[in-house]
Chain A
């Protein structure tokens, strides 16, 4: 009974780890640099970033589920073309749904919706994860990775929009019940139009990559420092033990 509970707890931890890894530790954009094309092209506002992210959530989760479901039926020779057809189907479906229910988003994302088909994140997760794992794990992986991708797009979109306009619009591209904008800062610092253009995209992504790298390196340094301390501590303890042992043996002989 105790063993079964521990097993369940361990499985739950695995699911959770699998889900959250895409947010920071294995973030597709800031760590693996996957899906950079939409990350640069459609993140000139928070809403478009969020919109693209949601489409990728739909496509990645469902394609992971389907790939995982049929992984044993597909021979290796036709793995890639089959996956592409599956991904392209979901992209076409999501494109039609966006065109029907969020026309401004569809117009704003334009050619970048069909281009989701060639997003390496989606094909990457299908070949490296979904084709080797269970349906549930694949679904969780797809959802987690796609949400991590979405968060990254939103982060870039937020930075670019606020720097370029001093405000964050909502309800413009997504079918929200209200339309408006947040912040409305009118300082000169927040009117740098360069951040709307491609150059701004590169700049912002570069800055965020630097931030993520800095955090990663700081963690790594801390880890190494802890390890070094632990080794020194162990060495000290061993030396102490050795010294005590030597003293004991010296006392005994005396």
Chain B
């Protein structure tokens, strides 16, 4: 026993001395390493945009505003500014940060996205630089822990083809790079950049109708006819400015996607969703519709027949207007059944946890019933308060769950987000929940998943009993 304790003590002492040595060296090198990386990174940004090499960098770590994390300026030997970088935080987990690059005169040259990815061989930090036209200037592997020779091969042979490509239409070189894992990290970085930039571009598109637009939210989850999405546009204070209906139709020549803006019953205009890819003929055809701008939607009934595009545009605009009119009338019930037009009287139920149900119709056709249910879990432990959960479940006459809407929930953060993510799995369920469904739901938060399970099972059982009656 004593011998074993002696061995343990020796191992402990060796481990402790080892740890202390590493900590000591780390405290000595930590700042130097950080400074090295910072300088190296700034030099790379300058190099990508062919800015004159800076002899000295000034980094302002104090946030300029809530969005900007820091600024960096480079100076030559005579203290002339050779370039400037403004770094912004990006909320997306995938993107570490975004840098806007300016030359010494303050002219904006482009942006750089810095994206980190942990692949099977370690970490890869990729810089994706693009100019003001969203064309890729360069893709560069900033840092990595993958096999150096493979990465070098990618750097030498497979990053060049990205140069000059538009972020809206990037085609990748090929997968046979000799280091697929690393190359996939690079491709992922380019994709993320493209997605982010395109999202920004979408906002820029929406600002053509709503100059104060700051954010947008796609309301329709599923396409209805040629209307693919209804996009709600919000200003800086999250006030709803209006809607944009995004509609697509193939007119035998090409797929045409249009943004049709309608604000409180007023037609704001119609434009191509991808003007950069649209033909001149399409843009010309769309100009005719400017005549309706500012008109109440009831007065907008385009019936042009001059170009090959007119019929398609007429159709899409009319569809958007009809959809908008229907939305205004039946907005509150559309969340349960997409084609709903009206809702029947509320019928109270005395079967816990169900409170009531209401039938939903499309004109005279019964689409299903919406059950409202409530469960008050009360405090469940010292750390979990629980609370009231009020949920509406839409069930078709065939006993299939069509949608679930959470009305009241005493949760926030991750658990709530996970629940919303998991609600999808209930759609289409037509009977008692199986083990897999339970598990998936429970993964979103045990109590919450359990509450939703109970409510759905109660609604389905009630609908089943009604069917039997």
Contact = CB atoms under 8 A, between A and B. Distances in A.
Interface string B122-165: 10000000000000000000011111110100000000000000
Given A44-B149, A78-B7, A82-B14, A107 B22 contact: no
B36 A100 contact: yes
Contact of A100 (B33, B40, B143, B146): B33
Interface stretch (B24-32, B90-98, B200-208): B24-32
B149 to A, nearest CB: 7
B25 A99 contact: no
Contact of B148 (A74, A86, A88, A108): A108
A85 interface: yes
A162 interface: no
Given A82-B11, A103-B36, A89 B148 contact: no
Contact of B22 (A41, A77, A81, A89): A89
Nearest to A114: B145
A118 interface: no
Contacts of B18: 85-86, 88-89
A81 B11 contact: yes
Contacts of B14: 82, 85-86
Contacts of A81: 11
Interface string B228-251: 000000000000000000000000
B22 A93 contact: yes
Given A97-B25, A97-B29, A110 B145 contact: yes
Contacts of B11: 78, 81-82
A110 B7 contact: no
Given A110-B148, A111-B145, A96 B10 contact: no
A96 B33 contact: yes
A198 interface: yes
B211 interface: no
A198 B148 CA distance: 11
B7 A77 contact: yes
B299 interface: no
A38 to B, nearest CB: 11
Interface in B1-45: 3, 6-7, 10-11, 14-15, 17-18, 21-22, 25-26, 29, 32-33, 36-37, 40
Contact of A93 (B3, B21, B143): B21
Interface of A: 41-42, 44, 73-75, 77-78, 81-82, 85-86, 88-89, 92-93, 96-97, 99-101, 103, 107-112, 197-198
Given A73-B10, A110-B145, 20 more contacts: A41-B148, A42-B148, A74-B10, A75-B3, A82-B10, A86-B18, A89-B17, A92-B25, A93-B22, A93-B25, A96-B25, A96-B26, A97-B25, A103-B37, A109-B148, A110-B147, A110-B148, A111-B122, A111-B145, A198-B149
Pick the 9 closest A-B CB pairs, nearest first.
A100-B29, A89-B18, A100-B32, A110-B148, A96-B29, A93-B25, A103-B36, A100-B33, A99-B33
